Structure 1
Amino acid sequence: MKEKHTALRYLKVQNFKALDFFEIEFPPPRMTVDPDILVMGSKNGWGKTSVLEACVLLFLAAAIGEESFKLGNRYLSTDLYDLLIQAGAKQAIIEGTFEIKNESISVTLTIDKQGNINIEKTQKNIEWFSTSVGYRREIERFWSAMAGLSFDPLILPPLMYFHSYRKVQEGNLELGMLVEKNLPLNRTSRFKLEILHSMMSDANLFDNIDETTAKPVLAKLNQLVKLYTGCRIDKLRPASDSTIEFRIIPIDGGMSFTFDALSSGQKEIISTLFLLWRYSPGIILIDEPELHLNVEWHSGFIKQLYKLAPHSQYIITTHSEDVFSSVDQDRRVLLMKE
């Protein structure tokens, strides 16, 4: 039987960024064995990214509250409320309904030009997170990504947002990154930190590093690296500047090489699939996956998502006909301006 996950079932947006009015339902699948997914296709400039950002903001409003928005102006060069509210409008309204276990929670977020935030919820005593540790850092990551300062996705289980400008940052890691809590958001990749943490945990060389999840994490990473590169994880290599390089090696033999030497498409599909597997189940938002995938992976991408994390809800925007047509007709919608 499929586990009950947190899901977004309804969204209505008014005067938010590129959207003057938008309303959509995200119905559960008819059969419990079917994927909980909706793929939205459209032409450039329609506002698909704004739809996903509205989903994120509604979740932050429901789960955390006004604090989520107070962090925004720190990262944005323009006024936050000018950015979020459509030109000429006085306020933006985002409404929606979440499903948490067997409970339905309706949320309304109103933002005006003066910076007033109003949040209304039908249920106030809902536990959205298993732990609240680190949520402030992830909110900062979201706003800095909107400002173009961070390339990491938003990982705030039960919500994950893989924005279109995500990227695995090149560069080596430092051991101190294992314990440093306030690294600059543009300094390194969260994906690489996960790998460093797991490899050091598996070696059992350090105190105060949890090793219970290291083996399954490394096994899953090896599976993905093998599938998309024909390689496996090798070792960590120290550099002269006291940093550490993450190495992989061809399965059929040959010299090891740095993970950074892979193509951007290989790095992105491995990191995206790994992170959503690691932090599922939840609401997974993916903006234009085709920008980060080799063409031959487009048609099989969604099948791979569901194979890795079958108990999550997926809301995906795309320009790719292969991605769009890879789901059943009732699981996709073509967005068009009237």
Structure 2
Amino acid sequence: MRVKRLKIENFRGVTNLDLSFENSQMVVFAGINGAGKTTVLEAMQYLFSWYVARLKSPKGKGLQLDESDITNGQPYCFLKIEVEDCALGADCVVKWSLLKKRSSYRKPVDRQANRTELNDYADSKMELFADNKVHNLPLVDFYSVNRVVDAVPLRVRKKHELGPLDAFDSGLNNSVNFHSFFLWFREREDLENELYREMGKKFLGDDQLEAVRSAIKNLLPGYSRFRVKRDPLSFVVEKKGETFSFSQLSDGEKSYIALVCDIARKMAMTSPQSDSPLDEPAIVMIDEIELHLHPEWQMGVVDHLKKTFPHVQFFLTTHSPHIVTNLKNSGGDTLVALDRGEAVLTTQNQYGQTVDFILNDVFRLKSLRNSVVQKKIDEVWTLLKKGDCTSEKYRKLLGWLRTNIDSADPEFVRIALQEKRIEKGRV
């Protein structure tokens, strides 16, 4: 299952966006705050919530568009998606759309909501899943920026459902605290230990838990053996050979581990008969992938995700140049630079570029310095271009720079060279 095309019209700050994702495995939306990155993911969230709802019930309803979702001054909001699923055979593309029109707008619009193909698709997936024990349900999941590991539940007070449909969030909610993952892991590990006691060495371990453990090793080299310790009761993980309680880890470590484990858990749940659940297709959307991550981890997250989940189509948003500089145009990666709801599909290869290049080219930063220092430097150069390197104003500006920034700053070398050119021209 893969997204082929997404169309957004008049949805919040995005007025007209038509994107093709042919052969794209890793799609990254980059831009400054307010550029429309999260809006694009949330448009997909609305559309896929109907897919999840229809898997659970033929009459299930997903998230409803509201008049507040319509761009100011526009009469309607329209979302459309095209999804490809090769398991369907020759007719492998499914399309569906959502529409919301202002109640005060009386004229007809040349758009309509249509979920007929989606309904048939969801029905066929559930029929295949029920009749064919080796058929899996393609996972779709959304992780908002409101994802935190605020508390780790240790005691299972009631039995939880562990079936494939329980991996789907019925509304693809905007808040994730990962409680369900920890409860699932604890309960699943209790079942695994029970089978160990009954079967001994004949039992090779729980396949779904092994998928989670494998994901941790792939995405976090040096981390392993995530498990529940019984005395004292706690979740623990080995880090470079030393055992740590999960609560002892940094916020970045906890958030990243929980995210990776939750994706692996849900892929294992939706592919119960698969020998390699992490190799199954899925669609995962993550808002601000760099959240809580040190720049060193940001540098590796794209490659680690693709290696660990080779057939997952990821849709990420980011403010981080460290993410962007690891995208390969030739490796199925697509960078979409957004600016006020409009997109520019970059044809230039960003891979391996310096951070300052990415900040300038993708994030449109005019300067890498803080605005006060840059303003002083600009004023100095304005005077130098006029041939002025002796006035009181010039001396005050240069004195301010020498007081406030490092004396080894290369800007002083450039200024000194320009002063010599001016002096030679006066001789």
Q: TM-score, normalised by structure 1?
A: 0.71
Q: What whole-Å deviation, never above 9, does each CA across 1:16-48 have from its counterpart, x for those lacking one? A: 12222222111115xxxxxx1221211111111
The aligned amino acid for 1:173 is L
**2:12 aligned with 1:23:** no
Q: Determine which of 251, 254, 257 is the counterpart of 1:264.
A: 251
Query: Which SS does the other structure have where 2:146 is aligned?
Result: coil
Structure 1 equivalent of residue 180 of structure 2: 190
Q: Which runs of 5+ in 1 are unaligned?
A: 1-5, 30-35, 73-79, 133-155
**2:141 aligned with 1:160:** yes
User: How far is the alpha carbon of 1:131 from its aligned partner?
Assistant: 5.6
Identity value in percent = 24
Structure 2 equivalent of residue 56 of structure 1: 45
In structure 2, relative to structure 1, the CA distance for the partners of 1:121 and 1:234 (3 Å cut) is closer
In structure 2, relative to structure 1, the CA distance for the partners of 1:112 and 1:173 (3 Å cut) is farther
User: How far is the alpha carbon of 1:7 from its aligned partner?
Assistant: 1.0
Query: Which SS does the other structure have where 1:92 is aligned?
Result: strand
In structure 2, relative to structure 1, the CA distance for the partners of 1:129 and 1:55 (3 Å cut) is farther
Query: What is the alpha-carbon distance in structure 2 between the residues aligned to residue 128 and residue 301 of structure 1?
Result: 36
Does the aligned pair in 2 maintain the 1:284–1:312 contact within 8 Å?
yes
Query: Which SS does the other structure have where 1:204 is aligned?
Result: helix
User: How far is the alpha carbon of 1:110 from its aligned partner?
Assistant: 0.5
In structure 2, relative to structure 1, the CA distance for the partners of 1:129 and 1:192 (3 Å cut) is farther
Q: Determine which of 210, 221, 228 is the counterpart of 1:216.
A: 210
Query: What is the alpha-carbon distance in structure 1 between the residues aligned to residue 71 and residue 252 of structure 2?
Result: 34
Query: Which SS does the other structure have where 1:335 is aligned?
Result: strand
Query: What is the alpha-carbon distance in structure 2 between the residues aligned to residue 327 and residue 23 of structure 1?
Result: 22
Does the aligned pair in 2 maintain the 1:173–1:245 contact within 8 Å?
yes
The aligned amino acid for 1:327 is L
Moved over 4 A (4+): 128-132, 185-188
Structure 2 equivalent of residue 152 of structure 1: none
Does the aligned pair in 2 maintain the 1:14–1:21 contact within 8 Å?
yes
Q: What whole-Å deviation, never above 9, does each CA across 1:217-274 have from its counterpart, x for those lacking one? A: 463266369736x5633543477xxxx5323455545xx5431221111112112222
Structure having the higher Rg: 2
Structure 1 equivalent of residue 375 of structure 2: none
Structure 2 equivalent of residue 299 of structure 1: 299
User: How far is the alpha carbon of 1:287 from its aligned partner?
Assistant: 1.2
Structure 2 equivalent of residue 96 of structure 1: 81
Name the one with the larger strand percent: 1
Q: Determine which of 150, 153, 178 is the counterpart of 1:169.
A: 150
Structure 2 equivalent of residue 333 of structure 1: 336
User: How far is the alpha carbon of 1:112 from its aligned partner?
Assistant: 3.3
Structure 1 equivalent of residue 225 of structure 2: 232
The aligned amino acid for 2:46 is L
Aligned residues: CA RMSD: 3.5
User: How far is the alpha carbon of 1:326 from its aligned partner?
Assistant: 0.9
Q: TM-score, normalised by structure 2?
A: 0.57
Number of aligned pairs? 282
In structure 2, relative to structure 1, the CA distance for the partners of 1:88 and 1:225 (3 Å cut) is closer
Query: What is the alpha-carbon distance in structure 1 between the residues aligned to residue 26 and residue 238 of structure 2?
Result: 35
Does the aligned pair in 2 maintain the 1:62–1:121 contact within 8 Å?
no
Query: What is the alpha-carbon distance in structure 1 between the residues aligned to residue 319 and residue 178 of structure 2?
Result: 29
The aligned amino acid for 1:233 is F
Query: What is the alpha-carbon distance in structure 2 between the residues aligned to residue 188 and residue 38 of structure 1?
Result: 24
Structure 2 equivalent of residue 86 of structure 1: 71
